[in-house]
Amino acid sequence: MTKKKIVKLRFLILFLGGLLAYFVLNKKDQNQIIVTVDNSISLDKIQIDQGFYFVDEVSDENLIKKGLEKVIYRDSKATNIETICGENDFLVVYNNEYYTIMRHFIPNDFYDGIPKPHTYNFDFKRKGGKINLTLSIEGENDEQFNKVMVKIADADNNIWGSQKVEK
């Protein structure tokens, strides 16, 4: 190997190593989504949307039709998730048959700056014919939710993933 080729090879290795280090180090500064399931649930049938859902809707029917602003998990793949200060809503759908809605509230304001990264652990388990979802959020604004997913067919009778209460 000539001296010129050795210099080019060293430069290429240094460049690729630096690029790899950049992505590894910056990954720590990003939110992460981790989805786990028991053996009765299929990862590729899960879709998670993120956005903002108005509580004053008449029912969940429009939410199910439109979804939220951004799909952050589909086909067993997570995308980049950005959380903002305030309300971060998640619409979770399984097999186009079940759904639930969850809200992670981040109380930072503009003076506090952008929220620090969080890890969102979505854990699905089937118990007695129902799908239970636990969302454990790790980070500056830790929180945990436990929900039983409801049928999409009932969305017109539900609000915020639960049956409407008549007054």
Report the SS3 class of residue 10.
helix
| DSSP assigned state of 30 | S
Express each pLDDT in 66-114 by its tens digit.
Answer: 889 999 999 999 998 877 777 789 999 999 999 999 998 887 665 666 7
pLDDT class for 52, splitting at 50, 70, 90?
confident
Predicted confidence (pLDDT) at residue 123 exceeds the cutoff of 90: yes
**Mean of the per-residue pLDDT values of the chain:** 84
pTM value? 0.78
Helix (H) or strand (E) holding 146, with range, is strand 143-148
Within 8 A by CB and 6+ apart from 150, the residues are 98, 99, 100, 158, 161, 162, 163
| Higher-confidence position of 106 and 65 | 65
Q: What is the pLDDT of residue 16?
A: 67
pLDDT of residue 98: 96
Number of residues in the chain: 167
Phi, psi for residue 109 in degrees, rounded to 5:
-120, -175
Model confidence at 41, pLDDT cuts 50, 70, 90, reads very high
